[in-house]
Every structure is written in C-alpha cells, then in structure tokens.
Amino acid sequence: MKLEHYEKIIKTENSARKFLLGFCWKNHQRFCPKCRTRRLYAIRKGYRRCSRCGYTFHDFSLRFLNNGNLSCQQWLRLIKLFELEAPTSRVAEQLGVSYNTAYKSVTTLRMAIVAHSLDARLIFSSIHGLDLAPSGKFRKESRHGLRMPVFGIVERGDHVFVDLIPELDAESILHFKMNFHLKTASIGKIIYTDRYKQYAALLIGGNALSTTYGVKHTDKGLFIDSSRGFWSFSKAWFQRLRGISPVNFPLYIKELEFRYNHRHDDIFPILAQYLCAFVPNFEE
C-alpha cells in the first residue's frame, strides 16, 4: 500500500472505519452473523437486531477485530506496525496503549492468520489452550504440561506449507534421533531435523528437547541447510525468538509461513481482510 493511501485511510476514525467496513460487508449489505438473514431492524445507534433469530449485533460482532478495545485507527496502525515486524513494546508505544493491550491485539492478528491457514481446523482442534469460541471471542492459555507441537516443512515451487503433525511430539523426535540416527540441529530456540518422510525438516520448540533430556543438537549436513528458499528466509526470524510455549509456537510458525508465501505481495490489505473475517467455529 502506498504511503499516501495509508495516510488517507487513517486520517480520521471515520475514514479508518469505512476502510475496514469494506472488508466486512460486501456492497454494504448487512446480514445476521448468526443465521445470515437480511431481515434486520435498527434498535440503537450502531446496533441491529435480527428479525428471525433475535440476535443483536454491531458491524464488528463475531469478527476478529472485535477481540480488543482498539479504535479503527489503532487497528490500522497495528497492521502497519505488524507488517514492519515491530516488537510488541514498540506497538504499545506507538498506539498509546498498555503492553498487555498491544500483546492481546497482536495475538488477535496472529490468530486470524492461523485461522486462514490450510490446517487451521487441525491446529485449533489439536492444541489445547489455543481455542476459538463461537461467540467470536477466543482465549490463548499457557498451560503447564502441554506437549510442544511438531511441524513439518514442505516446499512446492514458490510456496511453503508448514504443517502440524499431531501424532509427533518431543519424545518422537528424541526417539528418531537416538534409535534411527535422525540428524538434528538448532537455530535460536528452534530445533530442526533432517528429512523425514515427505518433509524437508521437522520443527519443534527447543526447550523440551534441550533442558529435559540434555541432548545436543549439533549435527551437520542436514538436507534443509542447503535450501535457498524458506529456510534462508526464516533463519534470522528464528534467531529473534526468545521464549517459546506450546501455545505460541503455532502462532509464530504460521506467521512465518504467511510472510514467506506473501513475500512478493502487499500484505496490509490481506491482514485487514483477515482481521475483519468472522471467527470460524471449527466445532461445527
């Protein structure tokens, strides 16, 4: 997005809201988020009620950007800062909000990215503590004792797919290394492996494998180390990760997948579209 256009859409709260509403309602046609009927009536400023199911809603109800207390201008500034990979502390400073508010808002954006990935249903159904609620709200809980998820890298042309492999965990990686001589190495807080089945490498957060078992991951000559695609793109990104929890790991991995697959695109409108999407109910 050109800077001139960006400055225009964030000039006022009304211009920012109008920009976001363009992603929410096609041709400005409202419908009930619950039952999809268009038979609505206004009850108070900004709110409508469905004549079929009685649900009362506003323009952003049940959408990702309804999870938080940011204004439309703040949401658009957050998207721009996220696009530029600004740290959360910098986001809080620029938006004039607390760190916790900024963290929650950035997490909302990452959750929206995960929800639009090909294996979204599998991720949200397999990883406890990473939950989407039918109400449109969600919660991300860091619970002790959760298994660190394992992801596998598959590159197809200019795109990469970093897929959750729910049947594997830290013990699986250790088993393959100790008994089948699967090579492993580390970069930052990430441990990766040599080729495994159709995957160029497996990825897992390193805490469980390093601190619990005291195993060194210093093998050389892994298949993916010679890759000039996704792996070259992601190395510096992995090195910046400080702490990794089982709940945060999928958010970071899917963000990286998104950034790589859209590295030649203007991601600002894509992220705005993701934020304005309805929170899916994967339990249906």
Question: In the predicted model, what is the mean pLDDT of residues 169-177?
Answer: 90
Higher-pLDDT residue of 142 and 6 is 6
The model's pTM is 0.92
144 has pLDDT over 70 = no
Whether residue 162 contacts residue 256, with contact meaning beta carbons closer than 8 Å, is answered with yes
Average pLDDT score over the chain: 89
Tell whether 80 is covered by a domain.
no
pLDDT at 149 over 70: yes
- Residues 181-192 have pLDDT tens digits of 999 998 888 999
211 occurs within a structural domain: yes
Residue 1 has pLDDT above 90, yes or no: no
Q: Is residue 221 part of a domain?
A: yes
Provide the b/e sequence for 69-99 (b: ≥16 CB within 10 Å).
ebebbbbbbbbbbbeeebebeebbeebebee
Position 277 in a domain: no
Q: How many domains does the chain have?
A: 1
- Could you tell me the end-to-end alpha-carbon distance of the chain, in angstroms, rounded to an integer? 36
Q: How far is CA 126 from the centre of its chain?
A: 16
Residue 92 pLDDT level (bands cut at 50, 70, 90): very high
Question: Is residue 232 scored above 70 in pLDDT?
Answer: yes
Question: What's the domain range around 207?
Answer: 147-244
From 45-49, 214-218, 250-254, the region with the lowest mean pLDDT:
214-218
Is 175 among the domain residues?
yes
Residue 177, in any domain of the structure: yes
